[in-house]
A and B are shown apart, each in its own frame.
Chain A
Protein backbone atom coordinates (compact mmCIF):
# COMPACT_ATOMS: atom_id res chain seq x y z
CA UNK A 1 0.00 0.00 0.00
CA UNK A 2 2.51 2.43 1.13
CA UNK A 3 5.01 3.81 -1.30
CA UNK A 4 7.56 5.46 0.98
CA UNK A 5 11.08 6.65 0.22
CA UNK A 6 13.80 4.44 1.74
CA UNK A 7 14.66 6.83 4.56
CA UNK A 8 11.09 6.88 5.84
CA UNK A 9 10.73 3.13 5.46
CA UNK A 10 13.76 2.69 7.70
CA UNK A 11 12.40 5.23 10.18
CA UNK A 12 9.11 3.39 10.43
CA UNK A 13 10.74 -0.04 10.79
CA UNK A 14 13.32 1.08 13.36
CA UNK A 15 10.83 2.96 15.53
CA UNK A 16 8.30 0.12 15.38
CA UNK A 17 10.84 -2.52 16.38
CA UNK A 18 12.32 -0.28 19.06
CA UNK A 19 8.85 0.30 20.50
CA UNK A 20 8.10 -3.42 20.62
CA UNK A 21 11.42 -4.30 22.22
CA UNK A 22 10.95 -1.59 24.79
CA UNK A 23 7.46 -2.84 25.62
CA UNK A 24 8.69 -6.41 26.08
CA UNK A 25 11.71 -5.27 28.07
CA UNK A 26 9.64 -3.10 30.35
CA UNK A 27 7.09 -5.84 30.97
CA UNK A 28 9.69 -8.46 31.75
CA UNK A 29 11.71 -6.13 33.95
CA UNK A 30 8.70 -5.25 36.03
CA UNK A 31 7.45 -8.81 36.22
CA UNK A 32 10.73 -10.35 37.29
CA UNK A 33 11.84 -7.63 39.62
CA UNK A 34 11.88 -9.72 42.73
CA UNK A 35 12.16 -6.85 45.11
CA UNK A 36 10.12 -7.46 48.21
CA UNK A 37 7.12 -5.28 48.80
CA UNK A 38 8.22 -2.41 50.93
CA UNK A 39 5.61 -0.80 53.06
CA UNK A 40 6.64 2.77 53.10
CA UNK A 41 3.62 4.29 54.69
CA UNK A 42 1.14 2.94 57.18
CA UNK A 43 -2.21 4.59 57.60
CA UNK A 44 -4.54 3.96 60.46
CA UNK A 45 -2.20 1.28 61.78
CA UNK A 46 -3.18 -1.39 59.20
CA UNK A 47 -3.58 0.39 55.83
CA UNK A 48 -0.34 -0.17 53.88
CA UNK A 49 0.99 1.64 50.82
CA UNK A 50 3.95 0.56 48.71
CA UNK A 51 5.23 -1.22 45.62
CA UNK A 52 3.64 -4.46 44.53
CA UNK A 53 4.29 -6.56 41.41
CA UNK A 54 1.82 -6.01 38.57
CA UNK A 55 -1.08 -8.49 38.39
CA UNK A 56 -0.55 -11.47 36.11
CA UNK A 57 -3.55 -10.68 33.83
CA UNK A 58 -2.13 -7.22 33.21
CA UNK A 59 1.29 -8.57 32.38
CA UNK A 60 -0.08 -11.19 29.98
CA UNK A 61 -2.38 -8.73 28.21
CA UNK A 62 0.67 -6.57 27.58
CA UNK A 63 2.61 -9.50 26.17
CA UNK A 64 -0.39 -10.61 24.02
CA UNK A 65 -0.72 -7.10 22.62
CA UNK A 66 2.92 -7.22 21.55
CA UNK A 67 2.47 -10.67 19.99
CA UNK A 68 -0.69 -9.48 18.21
CA UNK A 69 1.22 -6.49 16.84
CA UNK A 70 3.94 -8.77 15.46
CA UNK A 71 1.41 -11.10 13.83
CA UNK A 72 -0.50 -8.16 12.42
CA UNK A 73 2.63 -6.76 10.85
CA UNK A 74 3.36 -10.18 9.39
CA UNK A 75 -0.02 -10.45 7.66
CA UNK A 76 -0.97 -6.85 6.86
CA UNK A 77 0.91 -3.90 5.35
CA UNK A 78 2.15 -1.80 8.24
CA UNK A 79 5.87 -2.23 8.12
CA UNK A 80 7.49 0.18 5.67
CA UNK A 81 6.53 -0.90 2.18
CA UNK A 82 6.08 -4.55 3.11
CA UNK A 83 2.66 -5.62 1.83
CA UNK A 84 2.02 -8.47 4.25
CA UNK A 85 1.38 -12.19 3.73
CA UNK A 86 -2.36 -11.72 3.28
CA UNK A 87 -1.76 -8.73 1.10
CA UNK A 88 -4.82 -6.73 2.08
CA UNK A 89 -8.53 -6.36 1.38
CA UNK A 90 -7.94 -2.71 0.63
CA UNK A 91 -5.48 -2.94 -2.21
CA UNK A 92 -6.78 -2.64 -5.71
CA UNK A 93 -5.87 -6.10 -7.04
CA UNK A 94 -7.57 -7.78 -4.12
CA UNK A 95 -10.58 -5.58 -4.64
CA UNK A 96 -10.68 -6.40 -8.35
CA UNK A 97 -10.64 -10.11 -7.51
CA UNK A 98 -13.50 -9.87 -5.05
CA UNK A 99 -15.43 -7.71 -7.50
CA UNK A 100 -14.89 -10.25 -10.25
CA UNK A 101 -16.10 -13.00 -7.94
CA UNK A 102 -19.23 -11.05 -7.01
CA UNK A 103 -19.97 -10.08 -10.59
CA UNK A 104 -19.37 -13.61 -11.75
CA UNK A 105 -21.93 -14.78 -9.24
CA UNK A 106 -24.33 -11.97 -10.09
CA UNK A 107 -24.03 -12.51 -13.81
CA UNK A 108 -24.31 -16.27 -13.61
CA UNK A 109 -27.65 -15.69 -11.95
CA UNK A 110 -28.65 -13.12 -14.52
CA UNK A 111 -27.17 -14.72 -17.62
CA UNK A 112 -30.57 -16.01 -18.57
CA UNK A 113 -32.07 -12.56 -18.24
CA UNK A 114 -29.38 -11.12 -20.44
CA UNK A 115 -30.32 -13.46 -23.26
CA UNK A 116 -34.06 -13.00 -22.89
CA UNK A 117 -35.58 -10.31 -25.09
CA UNK A 118 -37.51 -7.45 -23.60
CA UNK A 119 -40.99 -8.75 -24.49
CA UNK A 120 -40.36 -12.03 -22.68
CA UNK A 121 -38.74 -10.27 -19.72
CA UNK A 122 -42.04 -8.50 -19.17
CA UNK A 123 -43.74 -11.82 -18.49
CA UNK A 124 -41.01 -13.03 -16.15
CA UNK A 125 -42.18 -12.21 -12.64
CA UNK A 126 -38.70 -12.69 -11.19
CA UNK A 127 -37.15 -10.31 -13.71
CA UNK A 128 -39.85 -7.71 -13.14
CA UNK A 129 -39.24 -7.88 -9.41
CA UNK A 130 -35.55 -7.25 -10.03
CA UNK A 131 -36.43 -4.38 -12.35
CA UNK A 132 -38.73 -2.83 -9.74
CA UNK A 133 -35.95 -3.06 -7.13
CA UNK A 134 -33.54 -1.37 -9.51
CA UNK A 135 -36.10 1.35 -10.17
CA UNK A 136 -36.66 1.96 -6.47
CA UNK A 137 -32.94 2.22 -5.86
CA UNK A 138 -31.92 4.44 -8.77
CA UNK A 139 -35.00 6.22 -10.12
CA UNK A 140 -37.52 6.58 -7.30
CA UNK A 141 -36.02 9.69 -5.70
CA UNK A 142 -37.26 11.68 -8.71
CA UNK A 143 -39.97 9.56 -10.33
CA UNK A 144 -41.41 8.15 -7.10
CA UNK A 145 -41.56 4.57 -5.84
CA UNK A 146 -44.60 3.82 -8.02
CA UNK A 147 -43.07 5.62 -11.04
CA UNK A 148 -46.00 8.02 -10.99
CA UNK A 149 -43.71 11.06 -11.04
CA UNK A 150 -44.25 14.39 -9.31
CA UNK A 151 -44.19 18.01 -10.49
CA UNK A 152 -41.01 18.54 -12.60
CA UNK A 153 -40.46 14.78 -12.93
CA UNK A 154 -42.61 12.88 -15.42
CA UNK A 155 -45.10 10.15 -14.60
CA UNK A 156 -43.76 6.98 -16.23
CA UNK A 157 -46.94 4.94 -15.90
CA UNK A 158 -49.13 6.92 -18.32
CA UNK A 159 -49.14 7.00 -22.13
CA UNK A 160 -47.41 10.37 -22.39
CA UNK A 161 -43.74 9.80 -23.28
CA UNK A 162 -42.07 13.13 -23.88
CA UNK A 163 -39.00 11.59 -25.52
CA UNK A 164 -40.68 8.64 -27.21
CA UNK A 165 -42.09 5.38 -25.92
CA UNK A 166 -40.24 2.82 -28.03
CA UNK A 167 -37.75 0.48 -26.39
CA UNK A 168 -34.88 2.21 -28.19
CA UNK A 169 -35.96 5.67 -27.08
CA UNK A 170 -36.47 4.67 -23.46
CA UNK A 171 -33.08 2.94 -23.41
CA UNK A 172 -31.47 6.09 -24.82
CA UNK A 173 -33.23 8.29 -22.29
CA UNK A 174 -31.97 6.19 -19.38
CA UNK A 175 -28.44 5.68 -20.71
CA UNK A 176 -27.58 9.11 -22.09
CA UNK A 177 -30.01 11.30 -20.20
CA UNK A 178 -32.07 14.12 -21.73
CA UNK A 179 -32.04 17.89 -21.67
CA UNK A 180 -35.29 19.64 -22.48
CA UNK A 181 -35.15 23.39 -22.96
CA UNK A 182 -38.32 25.43 -23.13
CA UNK A 183 -37.29 29.04 -23.79
CA UNK A 184 -38.84 31.89 -21.82
CA UNK A 185 -41.60 33.58 -23.86
CA UNK A 186 -42.55 36.19 -21.30
CA UNK A 187 -40.92 39.08 -23.17
CA UNK A 188 -41.84 38.27 -26.79
CA UNK A 189 -45.45 37.39 -25.88
CA UNK A 190 -46.02 40.04 -23.26
CA UNK A 191 -48.13 39.54 -20.17
CA UNK A 192 -51.38 39.52 -22.11
CA UNK A 193 -49.97 37.18 -24.77
CA UNK A 194 -48.83 34.65 -22.13
CA UNK A 195 -52.28 34.70 -20.59
CA UNK A 196 -54.02 34.19 -23.96
CA UNK A 197 -51.74 31.34 -25.08
CA UNK A 198 -52.06 29.60 -21.70
CA UNK A 199 -55.85 29.80 -21.86
CA UNK A 200 -55.88 28.52 -25.45
CA UNK A 201 -53.63 25.55 -24.58
CA UNK A 202 -55.79 24.68 -21.57
CA UNK A 203 -58.95 24.96 -23.66
CA UNK A 204 -57.64 22.28 -26.01
CA UNK A 205 -56.42 20.10 -23.14
CA UNK A 206 -59.73 20.44 -21.31
CA UNK A 207 -61.74 20.16 -24.51
CA UNK A 208 -63.65 23.44 -24.16
CA UNK A 209 -62.21 25.42 -27.05
CA UNK A 210 -64.29 28.38 -28.06
CA UNK A 211 -63.34 30.41 -31.16
CA UNK A 212 -64.49 33.66 -29.61
CA UNK A 213 -62.56 33.52 -26.34
CA UNK A 214 -59.57 31.46 -27.45
CA UNK A 215 -59.09 32.56 -31.07
CA UNK A 216 -56.51 35.24 -30.27
CA UNK A 217 -54.48 32.80 -28.16
CA UNK A 218 -54.59 30.27 -30.97
CA UNK A 219 -53.13 32.83 -33.38
CA UNK A 220 -50.27 33.58 -30.97
CA UNK A 221 -49.72 29.85 -30.46
CA UNK A 222 -49.49 29.25 -34.21
CA UNK A 223 -46.91 32.00 -34.40
CA UNK A 224 -44.66 31.22 -31.41
CA UNK A 225 -45.18 27.65 -30.21
CA UNK A 226 -46.01 25.63 -33.27
CA UNK A 227 -42.39 24.84 -34.25
CA UNK A 228 -41.84 22.55 -31.27
CA UNK A 229 -45.27 21.65 -29.94
CA UNK A 230 -46.89 21.18 -33.37
CA UNK A 231 -49.97 22.59 -35.05
CA UNK A 232 -52.29 20.26 -33.12
CA UNK A 233 -50.39 20.59 -29.81
CA UNK A 234 -49.23 17.02 -30.26
CA UNK A 235 -45.63 17.79 -29.21
CA UNK A 236 -42.46 16.42 -30.74
CA UNK A 237 -40.41 13.65 -29.12
CA UNK A 238 -37.35 14.74 -31.13
CA UNK A 239 -36.98 17.87 -28.94
CA UNK A 240 -38.73 16.49 -25.92
CA UNK A 241 -41.56 18.94 -26.55
CA UNK A 242 -44.52 17.54 -24.63
CA UNK A 243 -47.97 16.98 -26.04
CA UNK A 244 -50.04 19.89 -24.68
CA UNK A 245 -53.43 18.51 -25.67
CA UNK A 246 -53.50 15.55 -23.28
CA UNK A 247 -54.14 15.40 -19.57
CA UNK A 248 -50.48 14.76 -18.59
CA UNK A 249 -48.74 17.83 -17.18
CA UNK A 250 -45.09 17.76 -16.25
CA UNK A 251 -45.10 20.95 -14.16
CA UNK A 252 -48.81 21.18 -13.39
CA UNK A 253 -51.91 21.86 -15.48
CA UNK A 254 -53.46 24.80 -13.63
CA UNK A 255 -53.53 28.19 -15.32
CA UNK A 256 -50.92 29.78 -13.05
CA UNK A 257 -48.36 27.02 -13.59
CA UNK A 258 -48.90 26.92 -17.37
CA UNK A 259 -48.46 30.69 -17.50
CA UNK A 260 -45.28 30.37 -15.48
CA UNK A 261 -43.96 27.68 -17.85
CA UNK A 262 -44.63 29.92 -20.85
CA UNK A 263 -43.31 33.13 -19.32
CA UNK A 264 -40.14 31.81 -17.66
CA UNK A 265 -39.40 28.70 -19.67
CA UNK A 266 -38.35 25.35 -18.24
CA UNK A 267 -35.15 23.35 -18.15
CA UNK A 268 -35.84 19.66 -17.71
CA UNK A 269 -32.84 17.42 -17.10
CA UNK A 270 -32.76 13.65 -16.96
CA UNK A 271 -29.23 12.65 -15.82
CA UNK A 272 -27.33 10.05 -17.86
CA UNK A 273 -27.16 6.65 -16.19
CA UNK A 274 -24.86 4.68 -18.47
CA UNK A 275 -21.99 4.91 -15.96
CA UNK A 276 -24.18 4.09 -12.98
CA UNK A 277 -26.19 1.17 -14.32
CA UNK A 278 -25.13 -1.97 -16.18
CA UNK A 279 -26.55 -2.72 -19.63
CA UNK A 280 -28.71 -5.42 -18.05
CA UNK A 281 -30.09 -3.03 -15.45
CA UNK A 282 -31.04 -0.56 -18.19
CA UNK A 283 -32.67 -3.36 -20.17
CA UNK A 284 -34.65 -4.49 -17.12
CA UNK A 285 -35.79 -0.93 -16.42
CA UNK A 286 -36.83 -0.45 -20.02
CA UNK A 287 -38.80 -3.70 -19.93
CA UNK A 288 -40.47 -2.71 -16.67
CA UNK A 289 -41.34 0.79 -17.85
CA UNK A 290 -42.63 -0.20 -21.26
CA UNK A 291 -44.67 -3.19 -20.12
CA UNK A 292 -47.96 -1.30 -20.43
CA UNK A 293 -47.28 0.43 -23.73
Chain B
Protein backbone atom coordinates (compact mmCIF):
# COMPACT_ATOMS: atom_id res chain seq x y z
CA UNK B 1 0.00 0.00 0.00
CA UNK B 2 2.72 2.44 1.02
CA UNK B 3 4.62 1.49 -2.08
CA UNK B 4 1.64 2.36 -4.27
CA UNK B 5 1.29 5.61 -2.38
CA UNK B 6 4.91 6.42 -3.00
CA UNK B 7 4.65 5.63 -6.69
CA UNK B 8 1.69 7.95 -7.04
CA UNK B 9 3.25 10.74 -5.02
CA UNK B 10 6.51 10.71 -6.91
CA UNK B 11 4.90 10.74 -10.35
CA UNK B 12 3.09 14.00 -10.98
CA UNK B 13 1.11 12.78 -13.98
CA UNK B 14 -0.21 9.84 -11.98
CA UNK B 15 -0.98 12.13 -9.05
CA UNK B 16 -3.01 14.52 -11.27
CA UNK B 17 -4.86 11.58 -12.75
CA UNK B 18 -5.61 10.20 -9.28
CA UNK B 19 -6.88 13.55 -8.01
CA UNK B 20 -9.14 13.87 -11.06
CA UNK B 21 -10.62 10.42 -10.44
CA UNK B 22 -11.26 11.04 -6.74
CA UNK B 23 -12.85 14.48 -7.23
CA UNK B 24 -14.98 13.26 -10.13
CA UNK B 25 -16.40 10.51 -7.91
CA UNK B 26 -17.42 13.25 -5.45
CA UNK B 27 -18.97 15.31 -8.25
CA UNK B 28 -20.71 12.26 -9.65
CA UNK B 29 -22.37 11.41 -6.34
CA UNK B 30 -23.53 14.99 -5.81
CA UNK B 31 -24.72 15.86 -9.30
CA UNK B 32 -25.72 12.87 -11.39
CA UNK B 33 -28.38 11.24 -9.15
CA UNK B 34 -30.32 14.54 -9.04
CA UNK B 35 -30.71 14.40 -12.82
CA UNK B 36 -32.93 11.39 -12.22
CA UNK B 37 -34.99 12.96 -9.43
CA UNK B 38 -38.38 13.44 -11.09
CA UNK B 39 -39.63 15.83 -8.41
CA UNK B 40 -36.99 18.37 -9.45
CA UNK B 41 -38.10 18.41 -13.09
CA UNK B 42 -41.84 18.74 -12.64
CA UNK B 43 -43.10 22.21 -13.52
CA UNK B 44 -45.43 24.22 -11.31
CA UNK B 45 -49.04 24.79 -12.38
CA UNK B 46 -48.35 28.22 -13.88
CA UNK B 47 -44.97 27.68 -15.46
CA UNK B 48 -44.67 28.37 -19.19
CA UNK B 49 -41.83 29.05 -21.60
CA UNK B 50 -40.82 32.69 -22.00
CA UNK B 51 -42.56 34.58 -24.80
CA UNK B 52 -40.42 36.03 -27.60
CA UNK B 53 -40.33 39.46 -25.93
CA UNK B 54 -39.62 38.07 -22.45
CA UNK B 55 -36.90 35.80 -23.81
CA UNK B 56 -35.28 38.78 -25.52
CA UNK B 57 -35.50 40.73 -22.27
CA UNK B 58 -33.96 37.84 -20.40
CA UNK B 59 -30.99 37.83 -22.76
CA UNK B 60 -30.56 41.58 -22.18
CA UNK B 61 -30.66 40.88 -18.44
CA UNK B 62 -27.81 38.43 -19.01
CA UNK B 63 -25.92 40.79 -21.34
CA UNK B 64 -26.03 43.67 -18.86
CA UNK B 65 -24.77 41.43 -16.08
CA UNK B 66 -27.75 42.01 -13.79
CA UNK B 67 -27.13 38.59 -12.27
CA UNK B 68 -23.84 39.89 -10.86
CA UNK B 69 -25.68 42.03 -8.29
CA UNK B 70 -29.18 40.54 -8.15
CA UNK B 71 -29.99 36.99 -7.10
CA UNK B 72 -33.18 35.31 -8.21
CA UNK B 73 -33.78 32.81 -5.45
CA UNK B 74 -35.76 33.35 -2.28
CA UNK B 75 -34.45 30.89 0.27
CA UNK B 76 -36.96 29.13 2.51
CA UNK B 77 -36.06 31.17 5.59
CA UNK B 78 -38.79 33.04 7.39
CA UNK B 79 -37.06 36.44 7.34
CA UNK B 80 -36.35 36.10 3.64
CA UNK B 81 -39.89 35.04 2.78
CA UNK B 82 -41.29 37.96 4.77
CA UNK B 83 -39.13 40.35 2.81
CA UNK B 84 -39.32 38.98 -0.73
CA UNK B 85 -42.28 36.58 -0.92
CA UNK B 86 -42.73 32.83 -1.25
CA UNK B 87 -39.58 30.69 -1.41
CA UNK B 88 -38.36 29.69 -4.87
CA UNK B 89 -39.03 26.14 -6.04
CA UNK B 90 -37.31 24.08 -8.71
CA UNK B 91 -40.59 23.67 -10.60
CA UNK B 92 -40.90 27.34 -11.54
CA UNK B 93 -37.46 27.41 -13.14
CA UNK B 94 -37.76 24.48 -15.55
CA UNK B 95 -37.65 26.84 -18.56
CA UNK B 96 -34.72 28.87 -17.25
CA UNK B 97 -31.78 28.10 -19.49
CA UNK B 98 -29.36 29.03 -18.11
CA UNK B 99 -30.74 29.63 -14.62
CA UNK B 100 -30.11 33.08 -13.16
CA UNK B 101 -30.19 32.29 -9.46
CA UNK B 102 -27.06 34.30 -8.84
CA UNK B 103 -25.13 34.22 -5.60
CA UNK B 104 -24.55 37.89 -4.86
CA UNK B 105 -26.97 40.43 -3.45
CA UNK B 106 -25.50 43.88 -3.93
CA UNK B 107 -29.04 44.82 -4.86
CA UNK B 108 -32.21 43.09 -3.68
CA UNK B 109 -33.36 39.65 -4.78
CA UNK B 110 -35.53 39.81 -7.90
CA UNK B 111 -37.20 36.39 -7.81
CA UNK B 112 -40.60 37.90 -6.89
CA UNK B 113 -40.23 41.25 -8.63
CA UNK B 114 -43.01 40.80 -11.20
CA UNK B 115 -45.97 43.10 -10.56
CA UNK B 116 -44.32 44.85 -7.65
CA UNK B 117 -43.82 48.11 -9.56
CA UNK B 118 -45.52 49.64 -12.58
CA UNK B 119 -43.92 49.58 -16.03
CA UNK B 120 -43.45 53.33 -15.75
CA UNK B 121 -41.45 52.89 -12.55
CA UNK B 122 -39.15 50.40 -14.26
CA UNK B 123 -38.74 52.79 -17.17
CA UNK B 124 -37.68 55.66 -14.89
CA UNK B 125 -35.62 53.38 -12.67
CA UNK B 126 -33.61 51.80 -15.48
CA UNK B 127 -33.03 55.21 -17.07
CA UNK B 128 -31.69 56.57 -13.80
CA UNK B 129 -32.23 54.61 -10.57
CA UNK B 130 -31.61 57.74 -8.42
CA UNK B 131 -34.70 59.42 -9.89
CA UNK B 132 -37.01 57.06 -8.01
CA UNK B 133 -34.79 55.64 -5.25
CA UNK B 134 -32.48 58.46 -4.09
CA UNK B 135 -30.14 56.21 -2.09
CA UNK B 136 -29.73 53.63 -4.87
CA UNK B 137 -26.22 52.65 -6.00
CA UNK B 138 -27.39 50.83 -9.13
CA UNK B 139 -25.83 51.97 -12.42
CA UNK B 140 -28.08 53.69 -14.99
CA UNK B 141 -28.95 51.91 -18.23
CA UNK B 142 -30.10 54.79 -20.46
CA UNK B 143 -29.19 53.05 -23.73
CA UNK B 144 -31.91 50.41 -23.25
CA UNK B 145 -34.59 52.91 -24.26
CA UNK B 146 -32.65 53.93 -27.39
CA UNK B 147 -31.70 50.51 -28.75
CA UNK B 148 -34.16 48.46 -30.76
CA UNK B 149 -34.03 44.75 -29.91
CA UNK B 150 -32.01 42.47 -32.15
CA UNK B 151 -34.68 40.35 -33.78
CA UNK B 152 -32.42 38.48 -36.17
CA UNK B 153 -31.77 35.55 -33.85
CA UNK B 154 -35.04 35.18 -31.95
CA UNK B 155 -36.37 32.43 -34.23
CA UNK B 156 -33.16 30.41 -33.98
CA UNK B 157 -33.16 30.86 -30.21
CA UNK B 158 -36.71 29.59 -29.85
CA UNK B 159 -36.11 26.70 -32.21
CA UNK B 160 -33.10 25.63 -30.18
CA UNK B 161 -35.07 25.83 -26.93
CA UNK B 162 -37.86 23.83 -28.55
CA UNK B 163 -35.34 21.11 -29.34
CA UNK B 164 -34.38 21.15 -25.67
CA UNK B 165 -37.95 20.52 -24.64
CA UNK B 166 -39.59 23.95 -24.32
CA UNK B 167 -43.12 23.49 -25.71
CA UNK B 168 -43.20 26.39 -28.18
CA UNK B 169 -45.83 26.01 -30.90
CA UNK B 170 -44.87 26.53 -34.53
CA UNK B 171 -47.19 29.53 -34.64
CA UNK B 172 -45.38 31.15 -31.70
CA UNK B 173 -42.02 30.71 -33.39
CA UNK B 174 -43.39 32.00 -36.67
CA UNK B 175 -44.78 35.12 -35.04
CA UNK B 176 -41.74 35.67 -32.83
CA UNK B 177 -40.13 38.21 -35.14
CA UNK B 178 -43.22 40.34 -35.54
CA UNK B 179 -43.94 40.07 -31.80
CA UNK B 180 -40.73 41.90 -30.99
CA UNK B 181 -40.39 44.18 -33.99
CA UNK B 182 -40.38 47.88 -33.07
CA UNK B 183 -39.74 47.01 -29.42
CA UNK B 184 -36.88 48.65 -27.60
CA UNK B 185 -34.56 46.78 -25.30
CA UNK B 186 -36.28 48.63 -22.48
CA UNK B 187 -39.68 47.16 -23.45
CA UNK B 188 -38.15 43.69 -23.57
CA UNK B 189 -36.39 43.81 -20.22
CA UNK B 190 -39.47 45.31 -18.51
CA UNK B 191 -41.62 42.51 -19.97
CA UNK B 192 -39.13 40.03 -18.49
CA UNK B 193 -38.94 41.76 -15.09
CA UNK B 194 -42.73 41.92 -14.83
CA UNK B 195 -43.15 38.13 -15.10
CA UNK B 196 -40.41 37.25 -12.63
CA UNK B 197 -41.88 35.12 -9.87
CA UNK B 198 -45.30 34.74 -11.46
CA UNK B 199 -44.77 31.09 -12.47
CA UNK B 200 -45.33 29.57 -9.06
B28 within 8 A of A: yes
Measured between beta carbons, the chain B residues less than 8 angstroms from A2 are: 33-34, 37
Further pairs besides A51-B2, A95-B76: 9, Cβ < 8 Å: A19-B25, A35-B2, A89-B76, A99-B81, A102-B78, A142-B117, A142-B132, A152-B121, A270-B118
Q: Which of A5-13, A58-66, A123-131, A192-200 contacts B (4 or more CB under 8 A)?
A: A5-13
State the CA gap A267–B28 with chains docked (Å). 53
State the CA gap A9–B34 with chains docked (Å). 10
Q: If the complex has contacts A98-B78, A99-B81, A142-B132, are A29 and B28 also in contact, measured as CB distance less than 8 A? A: no
B interface with A by C-beta (< 8 Å): 1-2, 5-6, 25-26, 28-29, 32-34, 36-40, 76-78, 81-82, 85, 87, 115-121, 124, 131-133
- Check B36 against A8 for contact (C-beta < 8 Å): yes
A240-268 interface bits toward B, Cβ cutoff 8 Å, 1 = contact, 0 = none: 00000000000000000000000000011
Measured between beta carbons, the chain A residues less than 8 angstroms from B118 are: 142, 268-271
The smallest beta-carbon distance between B2 and chain A, in angstroms, is 5
The smallest beta-carbon distance between B124 and chain A, in angstroms, is 7
Chain B facing A: main interface SS: helix
A272 within 8 A of B: yes
Q: If the complex has contacts A152-B120, A267-B120, A271-B118, are A11 and B33 also in contact, measured as CB distance less than 8 A? A: yes
Nearest residue (CB) in A for B194 is A271
- Check A15 against B132 for contact (C-beta < 8 Å): no
A90 within 8 A of B: yes
Measured between beta carbons, the chain B residues less than 8 angstroms from A271 are: 115-118
State the CA gap A89–B80 with chains docked (Å). 13
- Number of chain A residues whose Cβ lies closer than 8 Å to a Cβ of chain B: 36
State the CA gap A270–B118 with chains docked (Å). 6
- Check A3 against B38 for contact (C-beta < 8 Å): yes
A141 within 8 A of B: yes
- Check A95 against B2 for contact (C-beta < 8 Å): no
- Check A29 against B2 for contact (C-beta < 8 Å): yes
Measured between beta carbons, the chain B residues less than 8 angstroms from A33 are: 1-2
Measured between beta carbons, the chain B residues less than 8 angstroms from A8 are: 32-33, 36-37
State the CA gap A226–B117 with chains docked (Å). 31
Measured between beta carbons, the chain A residues less than 8 angstroms from B26 are: 19
A109-142 interface bits toward B, Cβ cutoff 8 Å, 1 = contact, 0 = none: 0000000000000000000000000000000011
A150 within 8 A of B: yes
Measured between beta carbons, the chain B residues less than 8 angstroms from A102 are: 78, 82
- Check B85 against A3 for contact (C-beta < 8 Å): no
9 A–B pairs (Cβ distance < 8 Å), ordered by A: A3-B38, A4-B36, A15-B29, A33-B1, A89-B76, A89-B77, A95-B87, A99-B81, A271-B117
A92 within 8 A of B: yes
- Check A4 against B132 for contact (C-beta < 8 Å): no
Q: If the complex has contacts A90-B76, A95-B78, A152-B124, are A269 and B36 also in contact, measured as CB distance less than 8 A? A: no
